[in-house]
Amino acid sequence: MFAHLRRMLQSQIMTCQEPEPGPEPDVGHSVRPGALYVVATPIGHRGDLSPHACAVLGAVDRIAAEDTRTTGALLSHFGLRTPLVALHDHNEDRIAADLVRALQAGASLALVADAGTPLISDPGFALVRAARAGNVPVYAVPGPCAAIAALSISGIPTDTFVFAGFLPPRQAARRARLGEYLREPRTVVLYESSHRIGETLQDVVDVLGPQRQICLAREISKRFEESTTAAAGEVLAWHRAEPNRSRGEFVVVLAGAPPQDDSGEGERVLRLLLAELPASGAARLAAAITGAPRKALYAAAVRLADAHRQIGENEPPPE
């Protein structure tokens, strides 16, 4: 049984090694009829196309691709000749229904982007949504994604993060969007192009401050890959220090805002409310107003009330 599995795996891995000249290889992989496969492709190094992805791309009836020339070059690199159909931002809504009808009639289809995982700042959402609405099974063939790759090397917390895609191209809108992350406690992952990376880094410094920790990763898995994690002001200087650092593709990872200390504001409001209300009511209202934790405010209210009572006992009665 293990020998059989090993043979099967080897035949799939063979498919995705550098192509040998000669006849089209046997993909050795079956896909389900009537299923849509969402297939991740390399963001740089072609060796990152997984054996599974390669086998699926070789076995489906058709591949819907963002740019048929880009995907055509990838397919021919691996000796695959699956027919392609263009699916991009401008025709997706129109052709999704046709593709779903073909799927419902039993054809298998793979969806790819130019690079990385489809639908992540790339086309495909209308097709996947239409497929699901039409009860077409949808399978993931996971793989490269620039956002996840950058996050994984950033040294910035990864336990909870927001993927924010591209910022708006106009500066005012871009700065306004960054302003939304001023108090965002989660890590934020952004995509940026070579045209705007300098302006965007400057905006990050101006809006979030030069001390905010960020990671700039460029050309991941490509020849000139490099990345740095430091305070935003230092990353901007690093970027400016070398003109070639404006070339290529970029991911910017922003560390979340440091936790706000609301305890001072919570206690200030609590003191005001304690003049009129019992400890539990004052703590509940102060928590609702300031966002400070109610339990901590209740403990403070009891402490303040006790101190107040003791002062009252020691003080001479008012005249």
Site residues for ligand SAM per CB under 6 A: 43-44, 113, 115-117, 120-122, 145-147, 191-193, 217-222, 249-251
- Rounded least distance, CB 188 to ligand SAM, Å: 14
- Rounded least distance, CB 59 to ligand SAM, Å: 23
Q: How are beta strands 226-231 and 213-218 bridged, if at all?
A: antiparallel
- Rounded least distance, CB 50 to ligand SAM, Å: 14
Give the nearer residue to ligand SAM in terms of CB position, either 208 or 220.
220
Residue 156 and residue 229 in contact, taking contact as beta carbons nearer than 8 Å: yes
Burial class of residue 260 in the structure, from the number of CB atoms within 10 Å of its CB (0-12 exposed, 13-18 middle, 19+ buried)? exposed
Alpha carbon distance 285, 282 (integer Å):
5
Give the nearer residue to ligand SAM in terms of CB position, either 224 or 307.
224
Alpha carbon distance 307, 319 (integer Å):
22
- Rounded least distance, CB 283 to ligand SAM, Å: 47
Cβ neighbour number for residue 276 with a 10 Å cutoff: 9
Give the nearer residue to ligand SAM in terms of CB position, either 44 or 51.
44
Give the nearer residue to ligand SAM in terms of CB position, either 141 or 274.
141
- Rounded least distance, CB 219 to ligand SAM, Å: 5
Give the nearer residue to ligand SAM in terms of CB position, either 134 or 143.
143
Give the nearer residue to ligand SAM in terms of CB position, either 104 or 193.
193
Burial class of residue 54 in the structure, from the number of CB atoms within 10 Å of its CB (0-12 exposed, 13-18 middle, 19+ buried)? buried
- Rounded least distance, CB 148 to ligand SAM, Å: 8
Q: Which two tokens stand for residue 255?
A: 């560390």
Nearest to 49 by CA among 24, 19, 72, 17: 17
Q: Which residue's Cβ lies closest to ligand SAM?
A: 116
- Rounded least distance, CB 37 to ligand SAM, Å: 16
Q: Which two tokens stand for residue 182?
A: 């001023």
- Rounded least distance, CB 142 to ligand SAM, Å: 11
- Rounded least distance, CB 155 to ligand SAM, Å: 16
Which residues touch 85 (CB under 8 Å, ≥6 apart)?
62, 63, 64, 65, 68, 95, 99
Task: Give residue 152's region: left, alpha or beta (phi > 0; psi -120 to 50).
Answer: alpha
